[in-house]
Structure 1
């Protein structure tokens, strides 16, 4: 079905949209590239531009303030959590962030990546009241101190991010390939991404001194080699999950985020092919990149193993990557696990046609991680609670 034959969904941007924290240059470039936008979106466009203009002097002050305080700063190489979307990266991130030795990205830094050190301190009470109770895509609580991934923040600082495809979904596939694989990106754009990620991380090191930065971002599944260029001593934790669950959950992820973030009319008819085609490329890129790392720089775990034996799994991660003793961290992790209580994950149906496509298109990775290649025989994790039907 072509785009013009498909019923388009109408965007309804909110003031909580991530682009409200973007700089004027990123906004002008993106709005100019994707014009014309629907008439009812134009007031939102005007508000984002006005917000960026008002913040520009504060952003410049923060840049100078940061430069003066980090000129001779030595920042430990980060620990990166990678894995395809909906593979358990957030759960692992929440567990590891209980370690007080780690620094991580806060909701405030996500919403105000240019200004969270200075202006953000003043606006913090107001911004915290505006936080949603749960994430858009599931029932994971959003607290003022909850760790966040850095991709939304970086999308507000430059243009190489797949989130721009969610903001402007009429070119979702194009933005995905640029934002994840750097396809078609110029040397200048890649240098800009490197400059902004360094700047964003330096500010976190400044605000949380003496701590090692812990970052979770599914995009980095396909960008291990690039990150090693920036931080040669970086560590990587890859978490994988039953691919039949990943497909259904990722489809849900895109539908939810497009509903919340799109600034253009969009349809969902291309989502399945986007997921089916990009998953193998991301996974193969990860396998190839990790193969070049020292054994002590990367570790791989399964989501089901983490859920069934969280403490033992985390202890193994600490030992494999040389992160120090897990013993002193264990009480913090146990307290967090107790807080989860009766949390219920999203439930999905598993139509035979979907199962067959996943089995055919992702077979080599299903076999690589030891999952059943026949969906009728694949016992899934507790999210599904049974056999794929």
Structure 2
């Protein structure tokens, strides 16, 4: 490696080290609350992948500098201490343990720099920079695994700009996705979630602007079924996009799995994904112990609109073999 001057506080000085870093990301593609975090965590646990973690998002401007100056472990430890000092034990919305090493969504990095959450021509350079940073500081022999639910209804663009990329689609019964979206959104708007605040500047700003927060609360409230109608519309749009475009992908470039299969058959499901990618797990995992069973308690408005939701999403339900009459 060429001689490198160190002791700079940000990454700007080191970006010239990245041009020759090769990237062909593997994308987890799925809607919000469809199980993308669970799938990401399980795949990362196989030790086959490099990945984007909470530390990379919170300290994005200094991850190269910390690595080259050998302060990465120190900064991660300090970040962990910060989480503990703020009494951040989990993400609250799903009880997933919050740590600096938690696999997270690259969309936060895009949005924190003033771009859209999803990949497009304006922020593509930043995503490429992110990928090269992660590969540079990680094991170059491992592929980079990323996830960002905001890109699920834009996967054709992603494939266009990364033609060698592979997709892992995850699907969950949309009734449960809708129910979980409503609960999670209302939770993070009802009270400030300190973990999300560390990841998202936009979220922090919402709590600095009471009128804006009130607007979002109203938008996802139960009044006049506003929140329900909004998330149903989002689900119809994203699932329709999937159905209309998935056949445009070569069969060799994607695999689809169900959240329900991950919960009931985690080892077999993860191994099928690794086989698709031509990889073998480097860790001996007790997969069943990594899955925490959760009961699904439907919100009253979701329960009332049960059959209506299933009718709205019937093509998607049929495609995946879900019950289209309202049974889950």
Alignment TM-score, normalising by the size of structure 1: 0.67
Q: Which runs of 5+ in 2 are unaligned?
A: 1-7, 193-202
| Structure 1 residue 346, shift from structure 2 partner | 6.0
Q: How many residues align?
A: 284
Q: Which runs of 5+ in 1 are unaligned?
A: 1-56, 162-178, 181-189, 381-389
Distance 1:125 1:315, change over 3 A: closer
Deviation by residue 1:211-260 (Cα, 9 ceiling, x = unmatched): 21111221121121121122111111111112221111111121123333
CA contact (8 A) 1:112 1:153 kept: no
Distance 1:118 1:344, change over 3 A: same
Deviation by residue 1:176-204 (Cα, 9 ceiling, x = unmatched): xxx58xxxxxxxxx433111111111110
| Structure 1 residue 112, shift from structure 2 partner | 2.2
Match of 1:191 in 2: 121
CA contact (8 A) 1:158 1:196 kept: no
For residues 1-389 of structure 1, what are the structure 2 equivalents within 5 Å? 58-59=9-10, 62-65=11-14, 67-75=15-23, 77-118=24-65, 121=72, 123-131=75-83, 132-161=88-117, 190-210=120-140, 211-259=142-190, 260=192, 261=203, 262-263=206-207, 264-266=212-214, 267=218, 268-269=220-221, 270-319=226-275, 321-326=276-281, 328-329=282-283, 331=284, 333-334=285-286, 337-338=288-289, 343=292, 345=294, 347-349=296-298, 351=300, 352-375=303-326, 378=327, 380=328
| In 1, Cα distance between equivalents of 2:152 and 2:298 | 27
CA contact (8 A) 1:113 1:157 kept: no
| In 1, Cα distance between equivalents of 2:187 and 2:295 | 12
**Alignment RMSD (CA, Å):** 2.2
CA contact (8 A) 1:105 1:150 kept: yes
Distance 1:204 1:140, change over 3 A: same
| In 2, Cα distance between equivalents of 1:78 and 1:71 | 16
Q: Which runs of 4+ in 1 moved over 4 A?
A: none
